[in-house]
Amino acid sequence: MPHDGHEHSHEIPEDGWKHSGVRVIPGDSLDTNTASTPGMNRAAAINAARVGAQKIWAGTVHIHANAKTGAHHHGPLESVIYVVKGRARMRWGEKLEFVAEAGPGDFIYVPPYVPHQEINASTDETLECVLVRSDNEAVVVNLD
pLDDT at 5: 64
Residue 92 belongs to some domain of the structure: yes
pTM above threshold 0.75: yes
Q: Helix, strand or coil for residue 45? A: strand
Highest-confidence segment of 29-33, 75-79, 136-140: 75-79
- The CATH code of the domain that includes 38 is 2.60.120.10
Residue 122 belongs to some domain of the structure: yes
pLDDT at 6: 59
Backbone phi and psi for residue 49, each to the nearest 5 degrees, phi listed first = -65, -40
Residue 50 belongs to some domain of the structure: yes
Stretch 92-102: mean pLDDT: 97
pLDDT at 38: 73
Residue 56 belongs to some domain of the structure: yes
31 — alpha (psi -120 to 50), left (phi > 0) or beta?
Answer: beta
Percentage of the chain modeled with pLDDT above 70:
90
The pLDDT tens digits for 33-83 are 887 777 788 899 998 888 888 999 999 999 999 999 889 999 999 999 999
Residue 61 belongs to some domain of the structure: yes
Find the angle CA(82)-CA(84)-CA(89) to the nearest 5 degrees: 65
pLDDT at 72: 92
The answer, yes or no, to whether residue 138 has pLDDT greater than 80, is no
Of 77, 76, 108, 115, which is closest to residue 94 (Cα–Cα)? 115
How many domains does one find in the chain? 1
Residue 22 belongs to some domain of the structure: no
Stretch 91-108: mean pLDDT: 98
Boundaries of domain holding 57: 32-142
Residue 76 belongs to some domain of the structure: yes
Residue 6 belongs to some domain of the structure: no
